[in-house]
């Protein structure tokens, strides 16, 4: 039986309840009913694929408190942004495996932060095993939506994510459970060209241009907005299977038209990220003044679902599953 639509995708697992990209976050997401899980994929110095929001890890691990790694602190420029901290590519997997995960948003998610230090970092291969075990436990097929992070940057330091990711995904799946996504279209074609079967989804910001375009064309890079015109969508449909957009593009007046136009071009449409806290809700859905308090999440979730999207990324999987059932019950 095919999964219900839209897909409910656990954004870094159940990252509203546990520190993101941890085993407990992934396993809880499966328990709460997700159709797929989205990891962010970066690499170590020795070419091991690890799951972190960014390659700079001071905000999601205890690395800054580890004196043995004090000398690894560095300043780098990643996709045009200067960052100071600790970077996965400066560690071997053996070294990273000693770190402990922490909550990225402790002021907003204090309950999740209570789990700080209880779990380590995972590799992509660990998540693939978790998905297999979850499918066996629940009787549901659990897909992966693998986000490739900073591929142009990693290629510049001789860590080709397209090759590394393709090798692992091909060994795991024949394509039925695999979706690959990235804010850079180039790497999607490269991974497909390496024989990975599945669906390929192009992530688009609400502003700016893709890093691979900027690296190649500089200030002549095509803005993301130009890729969401009718002509832009038609071009994308020749090379990718779907687009994934910031929810703000769907919540603004006429946002549903984007979904209609993308569907007309033959593209699926995903959106990110649905969260219940006031800090993340659109202004009209906030209740009270505290950023960490939950606002009218149900109203915002329903508004997004009403556009006809094919997949939603959620930090709290149970809320996404509930909202989908509620909207389906009205139709």
Q: Got the DSSP string for 166-213?
A: HHHHHHH-SSTTEEEEES-HHHHHHHHHTT--SEEEEEE-SSSB-HHH
The region that residue 249 occupies, defined by phi over 0 for left and psi between -120 and 50 for alpha, beta otherwise, is alpha
pTM of the predicted protein model: 0.97
Q: How many CB atoms lie within 10 A of CB 46?
A: 13
Picking from 16, 2, 14, 12, the residue whose alpha carbon sits closest to that of residue 276 is 16
Rounded-to-integer distance, Cα 172 and Cα 96, Å: 24
Q: How many CB atoms lie within 10 A of CB 260?
A: 12
Mapping DSSP to helix (H, G, I), strand (E, B) and coil, where does residue 36 land? strand
Q: How many CB atoms lie within 10 A of CB 144?
A: 23
Domains of the chain: 7-53+124-330 (3.20.20.190)
Per-residue pLDDT of the chain (331 residues; tens, 9 = 90+): 667 789 999 999 999 999 999 999 999 999 999 999 999 999 999 999 999 999 999 999 999 999 999 999 999 999 999 999 999 999 999 999 999 999 999 999 999 999 999 999 999 999 999 999 999 999 999 999 999 999 999 999 999 999 999 999 999 998 899 999 999 999 999 999 999 999 999 999 989 999 999 999 999 999 999 999 999 999 999 999 999 999 999 999 888 999 999 999 999 999 999 999 999 999 999 999 999 999 999 999 999 999 999 999 999 999 999 999 999 987 6
Rounded-to-integer distance, Cα 153 and Cα 207, Å: 20
């Amino acid at each position: 039986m095919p999964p219900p639509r839209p897909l409910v995708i656990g954004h870094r697992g159940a990252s509203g309840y546990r520190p993101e990209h941890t085993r407990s976050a992934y396993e809880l997401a499966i328990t709460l009913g997700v159709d797929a899980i989205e990891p962010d994929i970066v690499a170590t110095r020795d070419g091991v694929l690890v799951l972190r929001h960014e390659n700079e890890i001071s905000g999601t691990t205890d690395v800054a408190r580890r004196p043995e790694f004090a000398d690894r602190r560095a300043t780098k420029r990643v996709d045009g942004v200067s960052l100071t901290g600790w970077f996965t590519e400066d560690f071997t997997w053996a070294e990273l495996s000693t770190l402990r995960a922490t909550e990225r948003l402790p002021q907003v998610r204090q309950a999740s932060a209570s789990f700080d230090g209880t779990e380590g970092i995972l590799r992509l291969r660990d998540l693939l095993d978790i998905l297999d075990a979850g499918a066996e436990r629940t009787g549901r097929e659990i897909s992966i939506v693998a986000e490739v992070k900073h591929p142009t940057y990693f290629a510049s330091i001789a860590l080709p994510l397209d090759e590394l990711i393709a090798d692992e995904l091909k060994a795991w799946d024949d394509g039925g459970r695999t979706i690959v996504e990235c804010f850079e279209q180039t790497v999607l074609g490269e991974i497909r060209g390496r024989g990975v079967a599945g669906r390929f989804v192009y992530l688009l910001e609400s502003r700016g241009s893709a890093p691979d375009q900027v690296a190649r064309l500089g200030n002549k890079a095509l803005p993301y907005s130009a890729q969401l015109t009718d002509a832009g969508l038609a071009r994308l449909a020749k090379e990718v299977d779907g687009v994934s957009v910031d929810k703000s593009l769907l919540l603004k007046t006429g946002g549903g038209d984007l979904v209609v136009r993308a569907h007309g071009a033959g593209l699926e449409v995903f959106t990110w990220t649905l969260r219940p806290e006031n800090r993340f809700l659109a202004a009209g859905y906030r209740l009270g003044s505290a950023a960490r308090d939950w606002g009218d999440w149900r109203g915002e979730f329903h508004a997004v679902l009403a556009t006809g999207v094919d997949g939603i990324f959620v930090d709290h999987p149970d809320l996404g599953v509930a909202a989908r059932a509620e909207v389906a019950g009205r139709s």
